[in-house]
Structure 1
Amino acid sequence: KTPPNRMNGSINKAFLTSICLLLIVGALSMSTQALPAIKIQGGLEKFPLEFAGWRGRSEFVDPEIVTLSGAEASFSGFYTKNDHDQVSLYLGYRSTAFLSNENFFHSPNVCLPASGWQTIEESTHVVTNVPAFGNIEVTKMVMGYLGRKSLVYFWFQTKDKATRDKAVNRFHLALHAIRRDNTHDLFIRPITPLQPGERIEVAEERMDEFVREMMTALLQFLKDKQYEER
């Protein structure tokens, strides 16, 4: 049987959590509408096609797919390095800290299987030494399509916080909004094909390197191109 003091403590924690959530919702409803959108000069499609030895080409993304994904803008590119390393990159962008009436980003563990991909394995992976963020915990998936396998990472990212969990991303956005600390929101998904017989650890090394080098380019791109819409 649970001791009375422990039970009272649990009730008090639940009560305080509920009060905090109510305060968050109330504060958001009053404050977030005044936060200006953070736009990108020239659009996200101007994201660099060359950085740290990676060379890429942009790929078309159907605007309807972008809207359905919950993003306002997107970038898709196919990058190669050393004539054999290959990574496809998708970026989804939202220009405001919190929009209660809009869809949030859809996770690929839902949309990729709906497109015919088969989830072979799903787990958590930590990319270390990422510029400005340190360690980033991402969702890692091994996906199969038409007999070939690919390694997929994805995560969600504000200007200074990153997470693999969409619910935690919402919480981060809520904190930004309450503090009136304006931010964008990003969904980031790199994919690399697994070569026949290639060990997953080798593909992870390739992806981790790409994430670190891409992040340096992304942070500089946002620093140079972002502005608040007035």
Structure 2
Amino acid sequence: MDFRTRLPRVIGIVVVLAAAGFVFHDALGLIFTSWEQPEYSYGYLVLPLAILLFVNRLNGQDLVIRGSWGGVALVGASLLLELGCELSNVRGVQPYSVLLFLYGGFVTLFGWRKCVVFAVPLAYLIFAVPLPRFIFAEISVQLQLISTDLGGAILQALGYSVYSEGNVIDLGGYRLQVAEACSGLRYLFPLLSFSVLVAFLLKSRRWIQIFIVLSSPPITVLMNSLRIAIAGIAVNEAGPAMAEGFIHAFEGWVIFIGCLLVLLLELWLLRLLGCRIEIESSALSLSRRPVFSVTVQSWQRTIAATALLALAVGTDIALALFPPDRPGPVRLQTKLEYFPTAIGTWRGTRQTIPAETIETLQLDDYVLTDYVGDDGATVSLHVAYYGHQDSTAAYHSPRICIPGGGWKIVSLTRRIITVNGAAFPVNLVLIQNGTARHLLYYWFDEQGERLTEDYAVKLHILGNALRLRPTNGALIRVLTPLDPAETVDTAAARLGRFLDDAVPILQGAMAEAAPSPAWGR
């Protein structure tokens, strides 16, 4: 193929890539920004490794440009996802639009069968994309709790007196908190990507490859728990200052190298047991130029996908020139700090949330009041209000927060209770910490609609955002302690009596919301 024949195709490729870069610039920015975070700092290596794997797979391939309409559908879906994230300002899943576009482009050109041949390099690109924040938070909390319990168990096995409470290890004179940074995710993600790469390069049985990948999470948890246990030993032997210094010194690459050594030890033990363990290093080598052929049978599907991309470019330009008016944050006309402390026969004492906690939760307004009834029973009311909810500011689900505070969720069920004669959906949660038990109801108020499912709330927020409607909402929780001999039904009846008095006032407070001036794009 001479230069004159090749030039139009090169220009076409450059134009398509430039158009894709224009459409997906926000999503690409989120991906590159995530690589600056410790949990995803390995992302810079993923793309070169995926390209190496892809190029080596090219050797001996006969690529036929005919493709599949399914690929065109994937390209269309990726563009719709990107546009939806732009309009709604919900960014958590936006980076995945880039992946969907790449996969769709490949299928559009070469069809589904070639996806099997290039499955590993294509799938490996997933590690370059950050998890949505709500999934990241849930995994992080669970890893914190597991690491805390295991770290405390190691200390107890060594003869130290400790007590684990949520993500805190009580060492007597010092409380060692296992924060999000200590959850182990900054080791899990790179180790998982490395183990997938090793499994692919292994000339071994399939079960060994699967075992190598599945062993990454336990290795991460074990090493992180060991780090926490050593920090606990440092507290007991040399004081809190030594522990803080140790935690900062033994994080990041130090622990990751330890995880790698355990993974290599695992491979050595498998080989010692007679398993075939050989690394196909040529898969990452560019010692020779890959030999492959490209045959064009039809550009029809490629032209259709390119037309969709051109339409997306036009839509993006139109949105830039004529940005839609998004509703601004919805402020309550009466601030919740004036929420009554006297409700029926209940008399309350208002509590405050520390400023740093408010900043972390990004609350716009809140109520935290402990009420006492005429019979001496106690009910606590908490309302967390957000004037605007998106991927950066939204409620923190009690399912995640409760275990982090040291409480165990004994049961969580969704119920329809009766409040003032009307059906009222709530989550009923029984929690326990030692001998102490609490019963709580919680639900989400989304512009007057009561929801109990976390993901239903997220879909509700997304739907409102796409329709350029307000996304304000609140998490509402009522809680009461149980006496040692008290039944759940008795405590539930107490919460029901409180809600009969409180719900009309709550509905009035939420209904008084007034929108702020609209935002531009």
SS in 2 for 1:149: strand
SS in 2 for 1:112: helix
Aligned partner of 2:407 in structure 1 is 117
Partners of 1:59 and 1:47 lie apart in 2 by 12
Q: Which has the higher helix share?
A: 2
Q: CA deviation at 1:187?
A: 0.6
Is the alpha carbon distance of 1:58 and 1:173 closer, same or farther for their aligned partners in structure 2, counting shifts above 3 Å?
same
Superimposed CA distance per residue, residues 11-59 of structure 1 (whole angstroms, 9 cap, x where no aligned partner): 9xxx9xx69x737545424788621221124532221111222211101
Task: For 1:68, give the aligned amino acid.
Answer: T
Aligned partner of 1:228 in structure 2 is 515
CA contact (8 A) 2:439 2:479 kept: yes
Q: CA deviation at 1:181?
A: 3.9
Q: CA RMSD in A?
A: 3.0
Aligned partner of 1:211 in structure 2 is 499
Aligned partner of 1:153 in structure 2 is 441
CA contact (8 A) 1:123 1:141 kept: yes
Task: For 1:229, give the aligned amino acid.
Answer: S
Task: For 2:504, give the aligned amino acid.
Answer: T
Higher relative contact order (CA 8 A, sep 6+): 1
Partners of 1:42 and 1:63 lie apart in 2 by 21
Paired residue total: 211
1:108 to 381, 390, 398: 398
CA contact (8 A) 2:448 2:507 kept: no
Partners of 2:420 and 2:359 lie apart in 1 by 29
Is the alpha carbon distance of 1:162 and 1:79 closer, same or farther for their aligned partners in structure 2, counting shifts above 3 Å?
same
CA contact (8 A) 1:130 1:136 kept: no
CA contact (8 A) 1:70 1:106 kept: no
Partners of 1:222 and 1:176 lie apart in 2 by 17
The answer to whether the aligner puts 1:163 opposite 2:451 as a matched pair is yes
Superimposed CA distance per residue, residues 113-162 of structure 1 (whole angstroms, 9 cap, x where no aligned partner): 2112122222222222468xx53332221112352111012121112211
Partners of 2:445 and 2:511 lie apart in 1 by 15
Q: CA deviation at 1:90?
A: 0.9
Partners of 2:470 and 2:427 lie apart in 1 by 26
SS in 1 for 2:475: strand
Q: CA deviation at 1:210?
A: 2.0
Is the alpha carbon distance of 1:183 and 1:128 closer, same or farther for their aligned partners in structure 2, counting shifts above 3 Å?
farther
SS in 1 for 2:367: strand
Is the alpha carbon distance of 1:83 and 1:93 closer, same or farther for their aligned partners in structure 2, counting shifts above 3 Å?
same
CA contact (8 A) 1:153 1:190 kept: yes
Aligned partner of 1:194 in structure 2 is 482
1:99 to 373, 390, 410: 390
The answer to whether the aligner puts 1:28 opposite 2:88 as a matched pair is yes
Superimposed CA distance per residue, residues 149-186 of structure 1 (whole angstroms, 9 cap, x where no aligned partner): 11012121112211121211111222333344435210
Runs of 5+ consecutive residues of structure 2 not aligned to the other structure: 1-69, 90-318
Aligned partner of 2:155 in structure 1 is none
SS in 2 for 1:75: strand
Q: CA deviation at 1:203?
A: 1.0
Q: CA deviation at 1:110?
A: 1.7
Among all aligned residue pairs of Structure 1 and Structure 2, give the percentage whose two residues are the same amino acid: 22
Partners of 1:33 and 1:207 lie apart in 2 by 42
Is the alpha carbon distance of 1:60 and 1:129 closer, same or farther for their aligned partners in structure 2, counting shifts above 3 Å?
closer
Task: For 2:326, give the aligned amino acid.
Answer: A
Partners of 2:324 and 2:485 lie apart in 1 by 51
Runs of 5+ consecutive residues of structure 1 not aligned to the other structure: 1-10
Greater Rg, structure 1 or structure 2?
Answer: 2
Q: TM-score scaled by structure 2? A: 0.37
Task: For 2:383, give the aligned amino acid.
Answer: L
The answer to whether the aligner puts 1:38 opposite 2:325 as a matched pair is no
